[in-house]
Amino acid sequence: MSIQLSIRQLKKRYKTGDGVSDISLDIRKGELITLLGPSGCGKTTVLRSIGGFLDPDAGDILIEGKSVLGSPPEKRPTSMVFQSYNLWPHMTVYDNLAFGLKIRKMSKPAIKQAISEVLELVRLPGMEKKYPGQLSGGQQQRVAVARSLLLKPAVLLLDEPFSALDAKLRHEMREELREIQADSGLTMVFVTHDQEEALSISDRIVVMNKGNIEQIASPQDIYDHPETLFVAQFIGKMNFVKGVADDRIRIGGLSFPNAQAHSGPVSIAIRPEDVILNDAEGQGIPGILKQIMVLGHYAEVSVELGDHGTIRGFQPREAVKSLQPGQKVTVHFAKVLTYSEG
Partner 1 sequence: MRWYFRAVGAKRIIAFIVLALFVIFFLGPLLNLLILAFTGRWNYPDVLPHEWSLKWWTFVFQQEDIANSMGLSFLIAAIVTGLSIVLCIPAAYAFARIRFPLSRFFLFSFLLTHAFPKMGLYVSIAVLFYKLGLMNTLAGVVLIHMINVLMYMTWIPTASFRNIHAAQEESARDVGAGPFLVFRRITLPMAMPGILVASIFTFLNSLDEAQGTFLVGIPNYKTMPIVMYSIISDYPAYAGAVFSIILTAPTVILLLAAQRFVSADVMASGFQVK
Instruction: Kindly identify the residues of this chain, within the stretch 42-71, that bind ligand ATP according to CB under 6 A.
Output: 42-45
What residues have CB less than 8 Å from 40, skipping those under 6 apart? 18
State the number of binding residues for ligand ATP (CB under 6 A): 13
One DSSP character per residue, 86-152 reads: -S-TTS-HHHHHHHHHHHTT--HHHHHHHHHHHHHHTT-TT-TT--GGGS-HHHHHHHHHHHHHHT-
Shortest gap between Cβ of 187 and ligand ATP (angstroms)?
Answer: 20
- Smallest distance from the beta carbon of 38 to ligand ATP, in angstroms? 7
How far apart (Å, rounded) are the C-alpha atoms in residues 177 and 174? 5
Nearer to ligand ATP, 45 or 78 (CB): 45
Among 9, 14, 22, 103, contact with partner 1 (rule: CB under 8 A): 103
Alpha carbon distance 213, 224 (integer Å): 18
Q: Which residue is nearest to Mg ion (CB)?
A: 44
Size of the site for Mg ion (CB under 5 A): 1
| Closest to 289 in 3D by CA, of 298, 299, 297 | 299
Among 1, 2, 16, 324, binds ligand ATP (CB under 6 A): 16
Cβ nearer to partner 1, comparing 161 with 243: 161
80 binds partner 1 (CB under 8 A): yes
Q: Collapse the DSSP code of 155 into the 3-class scheme (helix H, G, I; strand E, B; otherwise coil) and give the result.
A: strand
Distance of alpha carbon 299 from alpha carbon 269, whole angstroms: 20
CB of 136 to Mg ion, least distance (A): 23
Residue 34 binds ligand ATP (CB under 6 A): no
- Strand 58-63, strand 239-245: pairing: unpaired
Closest separation between CB of residue 48 and ligand ATP, Å?
8
**Contact between 3 and 161 (Cβ < 8 Å):** no
Pick the closer one to Mg ion by CB: 118 or 145: 145
What lies within 8 Å, CB to CB, of 67 at 6+ separation is 60, 61
- What does the per-residue mask of binding to ligand ATP show for 172-201, with x meaning CB under 6 A? ---------------------x--------
Q: Please report, as ranges, the residues that interact with ligand ATP according to CB under 6 A.
A: 14, 16, 18-19, 37, 39-45, 193
Q: Please report, as ranges, the residues that interact with partner 1 according to CB under 8 A.
A: 51-53, 72-74, 78-80, 82-90, 99-100, 103-104, 144, 147-148, 151
